[in-house]
A and B are shown apart, each in its own frame.
Chain A
Amino acid sequence: MLYYKIENSVDGILSAIFESFLKKEYPDNLVFGGFEVSIFDTLKEIKVDEERVKRVKSALNKYNQFALEKISYAFRYGEDIKLKIIFDFAYITIDKKKNLLKMFNNPIILAFNDIVDRISLERHRFLGFVRFIETDKGILYSHISPDHDISDLLFSHFKNRLNTPFIIHDTKRDKVVLFNGNDKQIVYTKKLPTLYLHENEEYFSELFKRYFDSVNIKERKNTKLQDRYMPRRYRKNLTEFKTKKPL
């Protein structure tokens, strides 16, 4: 097996594309970090080369004007398998010299569209699944742990909607996206903030838990459907799944 060891970034993948065309070889997989291979395998380290990246980008642009945008979107996918999936897609686009995104019977295109779709599904879901708590200073704070790196994709939606400072904290990636009232900031930090709740916070969260309960029609119980729409892994951050105080 031939492994390409790359930098874990879009440029890392694009540098690998250049290498692959140059040497007329095709890697079986793309890896990064301290990856070890067995004695039967070959590991080739590929450094990011800006000139090469530029040339690959311009080739991609020529055959599919949306390719680069799609690739950087796909790179938000939460699992490392994305490296190979993106590589395959970029390679085939340049190799066949055309936009193949709608060739739905091609396994490479299928895999690529799949990860793009999953990211956009999760982004859409989180427009609904973010829960803010209001601090004593009136700032809205939310922590989420999505499968994919989508927190900054939520920014403009909430900025337009809330029109007030807010924080979305991806605790899985230690990534904080915030709106300070004027513009967007992205900060990476392991530190959790100390928050003082607004005096109304408990009133509203208790009321919402009550609502969640009373709007349910018990005669039509269908938890399988509920699980499908709202996978259990998302629930730990949701107000309505926390224990409610007795009336």
Chain B
Amino acid sequence: MLDEKRLQILTESAKYDVSCSSSGSNRKNLGGLGNANLGGICHSFTSDGRCISLLKILMSNDCLYDCLYCVNRRTNDIERATATPDEICELVMGFYKRNYIEGLFLSSAVFSTPNQTMQKLFETVYKLRTVYNFHGYIHLKGIPNADKELIDEAAKYVDRMSFNIELPSEKSLKLLAPQKDKNGIIKPMTALQKEKFIRSENKKGKFIPAGQTTQMIVGATSETDGIILNLTSALYKNVGLKRVYYSSYVPTNFETSLLPYNQVSLLREHRLYQADWLLRFYGFTVDELCKKEENLAEEFDPKCAWALKNLGLFPLEVNSAPVELLIRVPGIGLKGAYKIREARKFTKLTFEDLKKMRIVLKRARHFITCSGKFFGEEKEGRIRKLLLQLEQNDNATQLSLFDKNEVILSTITGEF
């Protein structure tokens, strides 16, 4: 049985993996313990406001690599621990039964060759499914440069797999993670996606039903938001990823001049998540939001910044504008646009109606008309000033940065 001390070491080392989502799979309980819930379930929330859905743990934090940004790097003087496959299985069963968790997120430091490390991870999930008869959610981290056969074999038993991009360019990877290379990360992602496609064509049984995700560290290196979002967009389009996670660099290494000494602003990470959301659900392209050499505006959210650049497209009439355009109005989200579309079938909507429907109008009013009536400001300079004030009020405390915005909320809770 795993003791408390080792649990602490192995989970503390795992917490910088941001992904906590348990969604995207509808695995059934085949007579043992557990099943998966398509929308995902959050079981608790820690005081950083993140959700606990999965038991996030490393098999070992005893790493041979020396990635400068990573807390588990070989040259870092921290306590090391390793757990056995059975210890992890017992822990998952005990936690799951008590409804503490939705499943397992298993990762590991590379404590031996990539293949031997991947083999141990595979052994654990294989045992959990076949010996312990566990059918809850499993997210397994892939080890870069492990053999394809080994990765494919593991993919048959888990719901989601992820290889972390870590840094947004090959140059940065070479600089900070010399033992890793782009190919070792992108190749298995692409191969997995291909394999998943072939298997689903031939109906060959479950194979990462919840797909793949990845994560990159923001602010440790010099890439612009434009570069990051282009990479993101390519990962969604070409590799078929379900989610890209961004994590603001938190300093864990003060011995190198290659990394910033201070924590990177959470606002930047926040803006990236907002832009990511617009790419996936609102039909925006990267070019509309951010040029390659630019960063996203800090003073406005990306949708607002886009609308200000395209004032000529507005105002839109809420009683007739198509939904694809309504969702581009600052302050009107997918839910708001849906409510408008349904309600206007009954009656012509007025400004008062929108208020009653709890559509937030402080931003939207400059971009819409209701039955021909306009309630916003005419002059661009004035609109800009008012929107800026709103954004500053919203950001007045770092805290409300998160609670004013549905976008970031959902990304953190992992319900998507």
Contacts and interface: CB of A to CB of B under 8 A. Distances in A.
B357 A110 contact: yes
A219 B356 contact: no
Contact of B98 (A104, A127, A208, A247): A208
B227 interface: no
Contacts of A204: 94-95, 98, 100
Interface in B166-212: none
Contacts of B342: 102-104
Contact of B41 (A127, A205, A229, A230): A127
B99 A224 contact: no
Interface stretch (B139-147, B214-222, B397-405): B397-405
Contacts of B263: 219
Contacts of B29: 160-161, 163
B400 A224 contact: yes
A107 interface: yes
Interface residues of B, number: 65
A134 interface: yes
Nearest to B32: A163
A130 B1 CA distance: 25
A216 interface: yes
Contacts of B49: 220, 222-226, 228-229
Interface stretch (B3-11, B120-128, B150-158, B230-238): B3-11
Contacts of B281: none
Interface in A192-217: 200, 203-208, 210-217
Interface stretch (B305-313, B345-353, B379-387): B345-353
A85 B348 CA distance: 25
A239 interface: yes
Contacts of B7: 207, 210-211, 214
Contacts of A163: 29, 31-33
Contacts of B100: 131, 204, 208, 211, 239-240
Given A105-B357, A229-B51, A142 B94 contact: no
Task: Select the residue from B29, B33, B91, B100 with max chain A CB neighbours within 10 A.
Answer: B100
B46 interface: yes
Nearest to A142: B99
Contacts of B148: none
B8 A210 contact: yes
Interface in A118-139: 124-125, 127-134
A210 B11 CA distance: 9
A181 to B, nearest CB: 14
Interface residues of A, number: 58
Given A105-B347, A214-B11, A229-B413, A128 B44 contact: yes
Contact of A223 (B34, B42, B47, B266): B47
A100 interface: yes
Contacts of A223: 47, 49
B42 A208 contact: no
Given A104-B343, A206-B4, A222 B48 contact: yes
A210 B43 contact: no
Q: Which of B2, B49, B342 has most A Cβ within 10 Å?
A: B49
A245 B398 CA distance: 33
Contacts of A215: 11-12, 14-15, 46, 52, 56
Contacts of A160: 28-29, 35
Given A128-B102, A208-B98, 13 more contacts: A105-B346, A129-B44, A131-B99, A140-B97, A161-B29, A214-B8, A214-B15, A215-B12, A224-B403, A225-B409, A225-B412, A226-B45, A230-B44
11 contacts: A102-B346, A128-B99, A128-B102, A140-B97, A163-B29, A220-B48, A221-B47, A225-B403, A225-B409, A225-B412, A238-B44
Interface of B: 1-2, 4-5, 7-8, 11-12, 14-16, 28-29, 31-35, 37, 41-53, 55-56, 91, 94-95, 97-100, 102, 136, 250, 263, 266, 339, 342-343, 345-347, 349, 353-354, 356-357, 398-400, 402-403, 409, 412-413
Interface of A: 100, 102-107, 110, 124-125, 127-134, 140, 142, 157-158, 160-164, 200, 203-208, 210-226, 228-230, 238-240, 247
9 tightest Cβ-Cβ pairs between the two chains A and B: A225-B49, A222-B49, A105-B353, A102-B342, A216-B46, A128-B43, A220-B48, A204-B94, A104-B343
